[in-house]
Structure formats: C-alpha cells, structure tokens
Amino acid sequence: MAKLPGPFLCGALLGFLRLSGLAVEVTVPSEPLSTPVGKTAELACSYSTSVGDNFALEWSFVQPGKPISSSHPILYFTNGHLYPTGSKAKRASLLHNPPTGGVATLKLTDVHPSDTGTYLCHVNNPPDFYTNGLGLINFTVLVPPSNLLCSQSGQTSVGGSAALRCHSSEGAPKPVYNWVHLGSSPTPSPGSMVQDEVSGQLILTNLSLTSSGTYRCVATNQMGSASCELTLSVTDPSKGRVAGALIGVLLGVLLLSVAAFCLIRFQKDRKKKPKETYGGSDLREDATAPGISEQTSVRADSSIGLLERPPSASTVTTTKSKLPMVV
C-alpha cells in the first residue's frame, strides 16, 4: 500500500477544518497603516471561526523596537462583554461591538505620537483548531516636523571648515533636511558644501569671507515643514595681525611725538629763565637791618659820624708824656 506524503495530508486536513468551520484564521492589512496626529484610526482585522461561548478577542500593543513578547493589552472581548484596559482605554473601542460576523476592527480616537507601534489582533476560540489566529499591524501616527534646532561647530576662519546641524525633535515620517544660504552674498561653491538630507548636517570646507551670512535649514515631511536659521561669521586672521601691527605703529608714533613735544617745551622754558650769579652776601654795608626804623638808623649814623670825627688839640693826650723815661 502506497504511503501518502506528509504535506498532502496536512493540506487536506486544513482544508477540511476550514470547510467545517473548525479553524480560526485572522486577516489584517499587509501594508503599514498611518493616520495624522489627532485624528481617528481604524485598524482593520477580520476573522473566520464559529462564534461560541468560548470566543475571545484581544487587542494588544508593542512599542517600536520591542519584541512581541513585551506587548501589553488594550482591550478584551470575552463572555459577551468588552473590557478596555491600559493607557489607551478611554480612546480604544471596537468598530462593531459585539465583534460578531467576522469583524474585529479596532477604533482609536485622537491618536498621539506615542500610539506609533505594532498592534496585535488575536482571536481565540478553543473549540476550533488554530491555523492563523494572530494578526500584526504596523501603525504610524503622522506628525509634522517641529521644535527645529540649529547649531554650528568648527573653525570659522578663512581656510577652515564648519559643520552646521539641524534636528527636529518631532516628525513622522522622519523629515528630510535641506540647507540654503540666504542674502545677497555669493553662495559657496557646490564643492565646498556637502549636506546630508537624512541627518540634517551641512559641511562647509575651505571657508572664505563670502561664506559668511545667514543659513536656513528646512525640515519637510508629508505633514508639513519647519525651519530654523543661524548666522555664520568667517574671520580672516591675517587682517587681524595687520591691524594689530598698524595700531602698534600708531601708538609708537604717538608716544614719540609726546616725548618730543615735552622735550622741546622743557628747552624753551629753560632758555626763558634768567641766569643768576652768586658773589657772596648781597647785603650792603649801609643797609638797614631788619626791624630797625629809619629814625634809629639816622641816630646810629650820627653816632658813627661823631666817632669818626678827628680829636681836637686840647683833648689829645700823648702816651709819650705818660711813659717814664729810661736812660
């Protein structure tokens, strides 16, 4: 007796279960879904099974980048009742309640950026055989770019390089960044400007004075755009050195001029001052002593005159007559 191959038996068994209504199969969109922030999202999920007393439906959520095992429930439907749960309980419901008739679509109102992630639609009906009782939907909340921040780094001197960056803290899908040079000054050559539209970085090389000016970054996605600006000032170190040397020369000339002026002024003042010679005491013999009045001086003069008058013959006494004679 020939043996039937294994795959043939499995396919035949699954076909029989589907026809008999003893298999659970969940169908969800194969493409990711998206909804603008603040709007209402409908995550479609359909199933095929025989609804009985043990029928149960569960919707759960997984944050981006996390494994399926870390999912947490959003709502349950069991025993004919709906039980929303978790942080989305007030905004989550079923499009059809009760979810009979094979429709288990989730309705989520006023979607937030934090609602972005993977949603799991799980149908459980113990009497039935499971073929595909779980459906996964990747969902994105669309958010325009916002809170754009511009910054710069590098050596902003002639011949140097600078990096200009801009980043949006929000935006889904991820925005595309574009830099433009504003103003009337010439735009730097394309070879000296390299920008990354994904990271928002602009690299400027071989800077010149014409590289100075205002730069604007524009972040754009399908929901809108945002922009920020910064001013780049390129300096020339050689001009600074020349200016410093010129200032030093001017200060030196000024100091020399002041010194020369002071020297000439000093020489002129010296020539104008009369020369004084010292020949001893400047007092005259006939000068009046300080503190003596003119009358006293006259009396003194008359007394001096009397003293200088020659003696008369009657009053002259010779010393010779008074000396004893010695033989």
* Cβ proximity of 206 and 192 under 8 Å: yes
Task: Give, for 139, the enclosing helix (H) or strand (E).
Answer: strand 134-154
CA distance 178 to 173: 16
Torsion of CA 188, 194, 195, 196, to 10 degrees: 180
Beta bridge partner(s), residue 108: 41, 92
Mean pLDDT for each consecutive 10-residue tract of the chain (327 residues)? 42 42 82 97 91 82 95 93 93 92 94 97 77 88 95 90 94 95 71 89 92 94 95 82 62 78 75 56 50 46 45 41 42
pLDDT of residue 11: 42
Q: Of 141, 34, 133, 42, give the one whose Cα is nearest residue 94.
A: 42
pTM attached to this predicted model: 0.62
- For each of the domains in the chain, give its residue range(s) and CATH number, in order of start: 18-132 (2.60.40.10), 143-234 (2.60.40.10)
**Helix segments in the chain, DSSP class H:** 6-20, 237-272, 294-308
Q: Is the backbone of residue 246 left (phi > 0), alpha (psi -120 to 50) or beta?
A: alpha
DSSP-derived pairing of the beta strands 162-172 and 134-154? antiparallel
CA distance 312 to 150: 129
Three-class secondary structure of residue 184 per DSSP: coil
